[in-house]
Amino acid sequence: MLRAGGICELESGYGRRCSRAAEHGDHFYPWSKGGATSLRNFVAACAHCNGRKRARIPRPWMLTRLERRRASGTGMAVPVGERRRLRSA
Ligand SMILES: [Zn+2]
């Protein structure tokens, strides 16, 4: 939340960052699809974007753009997205 400045990190169309207040910590890669519960995989999201995104796997361009925004906004290069390691049989 601090990293995101309290503002939703997701996009509200045409590549513009959503300007609503973030209310949720959302898994970038959904937990149900192997996403990790880690700072790296969390994005700050408003209720609207969080509800819209649901448990879909984000597209690669979403990841690239979010990483670029994080780096330019805060000066912190924070990679986006992390998946749990799958147990090898
Ligand atoms: Zn939003």
Centre of ligand 1 to C-alpha 22, Å, is: 7
More confident residue, 57 or 88: 57
Nearest CA to 27 out of 11, 40, 15, 13 is that of 40
Q: How far apart are CA 20 and CA 83, in angstroms?
A: 27
Nearest CA to 44 out of 14, 89, 74 is that of 74
Centre of ligand 1 to C-alpha 84, Å, is: 25
Cβ–Cβ under 8 Å, residues 64 and 81: no
For 43-49, what is the mean pLDDT?
Answer: 93
Centre of ligand 1 to C-alpha 9, Å, is: 7
The answer on pLDDT for 74 being more than 70 is: no
pLDDT at 89: 56
Centre of ligand 1 to C-alpha 88, Å, is: 36
Instruction: Give the helix/strand (H/E) hosting 43.
Output: strand 42-45
Q: Which domains does the chain have, with CATH numbers?
A: 1-76 (1.10.30)
Q: Is this prediction's pTM over 0.85?
A: no
Centre of ligand 1 to C-alpha 83, Å, is: 22
For residue range 22-42, list pLDDT tens digits in order: 998 999 999 898 999 988 899
